[in-house]
Amino acid sequence: MKLRYFVAIKVVSEAVEELKKFYRDNFSTELSVKNVHLTLVAPFFLKESSDEDELVKKVKEIKVYPFTAKLTGLDFFEQKGRKILYTKAEPENNFLELAERVKIALKSSVEMDIGPYTNGIVPIFKAHVTLDYDFGEIIPETFFDILFPVKKISLFKEESGTWKEL
């Protein structure tokens, strides 16, 4: 079985705690997502001509110009019959530019995993933080902005069904 990876920005613990509180207060349940992050490059496989050490090195070489991100509101999309709840992230242009630089840096090393997507098509990048992968509630109209610093990107690898940061 091929190993899967993805590149993301981890949301700092203070912001995660605010999200957890919001979720408990509005849905009377715990936040289902354990690894709260903003995906820059969706899950992918390494090409046979590449190796993990090379991948780690490429990711570490990508310069991140620090900025403050803001989670601004809730929305959802559907993927393979599941309603996925997320919070929007701004400034969208900063995330888009960083995602593009990551894609360019890794382009020769990776092959996208199209399995999780409806019709086998990886969606266009949209800066967001997923909160629930099978949401069945009504989305509340109010959401308080949550700020968090963006200082670095992280590479994750799937091991035994869970994602571990490399």
Task: Tell whether 42 is covered by a domain.
Answer: yes
pTM of the entire predicted model: 0.87
Task: Tell whether 143 is covered by a domain.
Answer: no
Sign of the CA dihedral running 94, 97, 101, 102 = positive
Over residues 117-146, the pLDDT tens digits come to: 666 666 778 899 999 988 888 888 888 899
Task: Tell whether 155 is covered by a domain.
Answer: yes
Q: What range does the domain containing 103 cover?
A: 4-68+92-123+149-165
Task: Tell whether 139 is covered by a domain.
Answer: no
Quick one: which of 62, 8, 26, 7 has its CA closest to 141?
26
Rounded CA separation 130/76 (Å): 9
For the purposes of burial, counting CB atoms within 10 Å of the CB of 43, is it exposed (0-12), middle (13-18) or buried (19 or more)?
Answer: buried
Task: Tell whether 75 is covered by a domain.
Answer: no
Q: 86 or 2, which is more confident? A: 86
